[in-house]
Amino acid sequence: MTDHIAFITPIYAGFFGIMLVLLSWRVTKLRLKHEDNKALRDSGHNELTAAVRAQGNFIEYLPLALLLMWMLETMQFSPWLVHVLGILLIIARLMHVHGLNEPSGAGIGRRLGTRLTWLHIVICSLLAGAGSFGIIF
């Protein structure tokens, strides 16, 4: 019998995988609603623009954020620290999407969500740098 190793980052990656599919489904649904199916451009509809930006921003930040978390986990940083960072990232991304859904598209949730995502990446980057020198928390 082999011991099973539990990993933390895949929990968050799975959550974000489902979130990406939901964001993508929303973009597809809004494209069908607001423009010709053959057109692959933003048609000037605020709702569609917000959905495209939410999906695009998600794709821009999540791969690096999750990769950094995975690095910390494999460097054997404290599991509670990896979970705290994962929860921070979930809160940040949900706030960002919520902020984009406000009528102006420039809600405080969008700004705060972006800044929290940046904070997550900076913290993970600094910890990964420290971990590369054997400084593990």
Task: Give this prediction's pTM.
Answer: 0.86
* Other beta carbons less than 10 A from residue 46's beta carbon: 12
Identify whether 1 is part of a domain.
no
Identify whether 47 is part of a domain.
yes
- Tokens at residue 66, please? 């999750």
Confidence band of 86 (pLDDT split at 50, 70, 90) = very high
Identify whether 3 is part of a domain.
no
More confident residue, 137 or 50: 137
Identify whether 137 is part of a domain.
no
For 19, the domain range is 9-132
Per-residue pLDDT at 41: 57
State the average pLDDT for the chain. Answer: 88
> Distance between CA atoms of 117 and 78, rounded to whole angstroms?
20
For position 67, which CATH number holds? 1.20.120.550
Per-residue pLDDT at 67: 97
Q: 63-81 pLDDT, tens per residue?
A: 999 999 999 999 999 999 9
Domains contained in the chain, number: 1
